[in-house]
Each structure stands twice: as structure tokens, then as C-alpha cells.
Structure 1
Amino acid sequence: MKYTNKPRINTLSFDDDHGKRLKDNELRACTWNVRSLNGIGADARLVDVLIKNCDIYWSGHTNKRSFGVRFVVGERLCRQVLAFTPVDERLTAIRIKAKFFNISFICAHTPTEEKDDEVKYTFYEQLERTYQRWPRHDIQVVLGDFNARVGKEGVFGPTVGKFSLHNETSPNGLRLIDFAGARNMVISSTRFMHKKIHQATWLSPDRNTRNQIDHVVIDGRHASSVLDVRTIRGPNIDSDHYLVAAKIRTRLRAAKTMEQKTQGKLDVEKLQSKQTANDFATRLSHLLSESTTHPEGIQEQSEHVSKAVLPPREKLVTSGHEKTTGTMKNAALPPKEKTLPTGLR
């Protein structure tokens, strides 16, 4: 066996998942704190690393290049989005339609340990209001960069798992545990045994310190639905954080279809009959003369004539054959922009 001094390069991408195909009853929810997406082509590189076909929902400053939280929704879930709620530059929420229970995701970016307690208190108050906004029967998931080290102290009971990277809890970790424990939630990112390299979510600039500060929190009723949470080290977009992926067992609702009548086929041969042609002209003139609107512009006049043509055409010229096609799409949602740190697929 030959040994070399060349560094090992991990080429694992987000979509590979170690060669395992994502099952139909599994959902992958990820969180990733990236440095900045304001550079030229940064958002395009991020989408290329995560998911090729996706919709991106953004919340943050419109004229200030600081903070901001986003959701990237994969192609499989694009038509399952029920609602999107941008809160501020540190919080945003999205609701996904599923078969038995809908899923509410909240993406959070907590202030660091150095910030004043007042700033942290304000953040958790806003997080509480956002959490209370969604239906209680939903599967509630809060994920993101909490800047919180969670220890292995047994006093926290079922709220914290046994496989945290750290032994002691930081002040931000206590705030996170208080928030989760008061709402019967579980910090799932500490419940699964992995190697330390697959637990650490942040790497210091000198590459000597590793912390587990990005977490996935889910309500206790559905804690068993989380099959795994681990760090994926392959994807790289020049960030000091690693991508954290949670695999959740759930069934998505199939896209519903609705019947939509298309315009009937025109039977032009009927116009060869003088009687039909005269009836058509008479009805059209009658409808135009009865109209109470008097459009001024050319486009308005054209639309007015087109609407007047429809009734006599359907009665005299349209054939009896009709077909039904079409797919029901989701209701209109707020504008989407191409940037993010949280992905769903």
C-alpha cells in the first residue's frame, strides 16, 4: 500500500447521499450557514451544489448586505408549498402539505454568544410568536444556526440526546433547551451516534476548533419520525459551516388535478351556410349594441369584441366535442429570490 502526502478530496455532493436513493416516504430537511450570497454568481453556485431545479424563498434586508434567511425547495416539494412567511433577517417560515400532517418549518439564525442578552431575548420572543402562528397539529420543525453548544448533562432529560459533540452546555445552549423543553420539543441533532467529524457543524479559521452549533428541533410527538441527523462534509461553497441534513419519515400528498374546460373545436364548415353566417352576424351585432361599456383604446376595443364573439360562436360555430385537462396549482405565494441557507427536498 502506497502512502502519499496529498490531501484527500471529498467529492460527495448533496444529491448523492452516499449512493442511497431518497425514498418516497422520506423528506430531507437541511440547514447551512453560508458566508455571503451577495457576490456575483454566489447564489448560482449554491443552487448548483444543492438542488438543480428548485424554488427559493427569501427573508431579510432589501438594501442591506447583512444576514438574511432563505428556504430552497426542491422540485419534488415545489407544488406542496402551502404558505411562506418572511419574518425578518433572522427568521422565516414555510408550510409544506403532507398526507397525514402538514409540516411547518422555521429557519432561525440566533445571535452569537457575544451579543447582549436583550438582543437574544428579543430574538426568542420573535421565535415564539412565529412558532405560535402555525397550527398545533402540524409537524413543527425549527432548524438553523443557533450558535448554541448543547452538552450531555442528564438534567435536561428527553429534550437533549446522548450523543452531543460537547460535554457542557453554553448560555445559548441553555436558551435553546429552555425553548424546546417548554414546548415539548426534542433537539434531534444530538440523538444520533456518529463520528465526531459528522457531528461538528462549524470549523474555526485556524481549523483547530470544531463546534456543534447548528441544530434541528422537532416537536416531541413526531420525534420518532426523524430517522437521522448528521453533517455532510462534501458540499462546499466557501463557508466555515458544514451542511447539516435531517432525514424525516413522512408521506407527501400527491398533487391534485382539477377539470378545466378547454375551448371547443370550431366547425368552420357551418359558416358556409348563409343562414348560419347571417345568424352569427345578427347575434354579434345585437350583443355589441347592448353593451354598456365604450372602450377607448385599441386593446380595450379588441378585448371587448373578443368577449362579444364568444357566446354566438359557442352556440353556432363550436362543435360538440370538449375535453378536460389541466393541473391544480398552489395558491399565489410571495416573490421568490435565488439565495438561501436552508434546503428541503
Structure 2
Amino acid sequence: MRPSPSRIDYRKDNKQTTNNKYLPIRLVTVGDYDQNPPNRTETRNKNNNLKIATYNVRTLSNIEKYIELIHAIRNINIDILGLAEIRRTGCKIEKYTDHILCYVDETPGQYGVGFLIKKEYKKNIINFCGLSERVAFIQLQFSDTDLSIIQVYAPTIDSNEEDLEKFYQTLQEAHNLLGNHKNVMVIGDFNAKIGKPKINESLAMGKHWYRKRNTRGERLIQYALENKLSIMNTIS
């Protein structure tokens, strides 16, 4: 049986604080007080747009690799960066100068997913949940909307079908847990080639495509159709 999801939700977990001055109502690192309670009237940024991307980092196993990542994205205006293959064991939240790193991983030196979030959005984060070392999600709340982002790292083509089905079952579990949320994004590394859309796939795919579809791509399209998802990099 797979271990239960690792959740970090400070609205519900009172044990994360060591002092009863007051209890945090949102995500803070262990031992911190909630010094900046949420202000729901705050806009996302000057243009009221949130910029989200995903990146397979290969590894964030040590502080040097983290510094390399920050250096690599310093000129890219990304608010939330989904991370795949972080290879950083544990389910933790780490606070740095300008960013918050949330991640989950179980196998040393392999897999792992997470998020790198600009520190200015700390008060908007209400929950981080690591379902497995391949699937995690984060929930954010703003004055005008809620947003849930699922980050994935799918098994490679060399993995067996059992691993692939386990991955999609966990991904479906994430969708089920977010069932009442209207704004859900799925980002990450699916290790799939979806190729040219078929006639009955217009709801999931646009007109842009590349290369031929493989079996993992077929499985991804099937999942997108079942969950009424659109694959955005095929749509202009």
C-alpha cells in the first residue's frame, strides 16, 4: 500500500508552532509565526497576471544546485516554477531570500517534484500536498480567484506499465482532491510524445504538433480527454 499523502497545511496543523502567541492560518516554515496574515485584496502583480512555468532541473540535491537554478532564471520573470526531478529527499518547505521551495521526494538520488515560488506570494499559499515523488500540488488564494497547480514527473519510456498506471492513478487522485476547484493546472514532465491530433481529439489538442505519437503520448491524450483538459503547448 502506498503511503498517505504528505500535506503541509498550517491552517489545520497546530503542532507546527512552538508558541501559543497565535497560530498561523497559512503556509509558514516550521517554527515561524504568521507575521504577515493574508490580505485578500492584494493583486497578483502590477498587470494582475501570474506567470507560471515548469522545468526539469535534473537535480536540486544541494545548495549549490539551488544557487545554479536561481542564477539560471534570474532574467526570467516567473512567479511560480514547477520543478521535476529535484532529487531532494523529504517533504519540506524551505525559505530563501527571494523564493520559497516546496518539494517532496522519497527515493534518494531519483525523481522528486516541487515548486519554486516568489516570496511575495507566500501569503497566497494555503496548501502544499505531496501525494508521491511524482505528483504534488499547491493551492493559492487571491482576492478574485483560487488556483490549484499540479506538478508531475512521469515515468520514462523505459519504465514498466505498472509504474505508469500507478503514476496516472496518483494524478487522478490529485484531481479528485481538487474536485471543487474550478481553476486547476497540470504542469510538468510527462515524458510523452503526443504527435498529430486525431479527429476526435480537438477538445484536448490544438493545431500545433511535433513528431509522431508514442504509447506514452496516447496515454496522456486519453487522460486529458477523460478530465476535460487542454494541452496548452498545442494551442496558439
Instruction: Give the TM-score of the pair, scaled to structure 1.
Output: 0.46
What SS class does the counterpart of residue 139 from structure 2 fall into?
Answer: strand
Q: Once the two structures are superposed, what CA deviation does each residue of 1:219-276 show, in whole Å capped at 9, x if it has no partner?
A: xxxxxxxxxxxxxxxxxxxxxxxxxxxxxxxxxxxxxxxxxxxxxxxxxxxxxxxxxx
Structure 1 residue 28, shift from structure 2 partner:
1.0
Could you tell me which of 115, 122, 125 is aligned with 1:81?
Answer: 125
Greater fraction helix: 1
Of the candidates 161, 164, 186, which is equivalent to residue 117 of structure 1?
Answer: 161
Partner of 2:203: 158
1:133 match: 177
- Separation in 2 of the partners of 1:148 and 1:72? 24
Would you say the 8 A contact 1:152–1:161 is kept in 2? Answer: no
The one-letter code of the counterpart of 2:56 is N
Q: Does 1:169 align with 2:213?
A: yes
Partner of 1:37: 60
Give the secondary-structure state (helix, strand or coil) at the position aligned to 2:230: strand
Gaps of 5+ in 1: 1-21, 193-345
| Counterpart check, 1:53 vs 2:98 | yes
Query: Are the aligned partners of 1:164 and 1:191 in contact in 2 as well (CA < 8 Å)?
Result: no
The Cα of 1:75 is off from its aligned counterpart by: 2.6
Mapped partners of 1:38, 1:74: distance in 2: 20
Is the contact between residue 101 and residue 138 of structure 1 (CA under 8 Å) also seen in structure 2? no
Aligned to 1:178: 222
Match of 1:96 among 140, 152, 162: 140
Partners of 1:104 and 1:134 within 8 A in 2 = yes
What amino acid is the match of 1:191?
I
Separation in structure 1 between the aligned mates of residue 179 and residue 133 of structure 2, nearest angstrom: 23
Asked if structure 2 preserves the Cα contact closer than 8 Å seen for 1:96 and 1:104, the reply is yes
Q: Return the alpha-carbon distance in structure 2 between the equivalents of residues 94 and 164 of structure 1.
A: 29
Correspondence for 2:39 = none
Secondary structure of 2:116's match?
Answer: strand
The residue matched to 1:175 in structure 2 has which SS? helix
Q: How far apart, CA to CA, are the structure 1 residues paired with 2:184 and 2:151?
A: 11
Give the superposition deviation at 1:37.
1.7
Mapped to 2, the partners of 1:86 and 1:39 lie a distance apart of 20
Between the aligned partners of 1:85 and 1:77, the Cα distance in structure 2 is 17
Counterpart of 2:187, as a letter, is L
**Structure 2 residue ranges without an equivalent (≥5):** 1-44, 75-96
Write out aligned runs for 1:219-230 (5 A): none
Q: Determine helix, strand or coil for the equivalent of 1:177.
A: helix
Q: Is the 8 A contact 2:114 2:136 kept in 1?
A: yes
Q: Which residue of structure 1 aligns with residue 10 of structure 2?
A: none
How much identity, in percent, do the aligned residues show? 25
Tell me how far apart the structure 2 counterparts of residues 48 and 136 of structure 1 sit (CA, whole Å).
37
The alpha carbon displacement at 1:98 in A equals 2.5
Shift, 1:35, TM fit: 1.8
TM-score normalized by the length of structure 2: 0.67
Distance 1:39 1:81, change over 3 A: closer
Contact conserved, 2:105 with 2:133, CA < 8 A, in 1?
Answer: yes
Work out whether residues 147 and 184 of structure 2, in 8 Å CA contact, stay in contact via their aligned partners in 1.
yes
Contact 2:192–2:214 (Cα < 8 Å) also in 1: yes
* Partners of 1:147 and 1:172 within 8 A in 2: yes
Higher Cα radius of gyration = 1
The CA RMSD over aligned residues, in Å, is 1.8
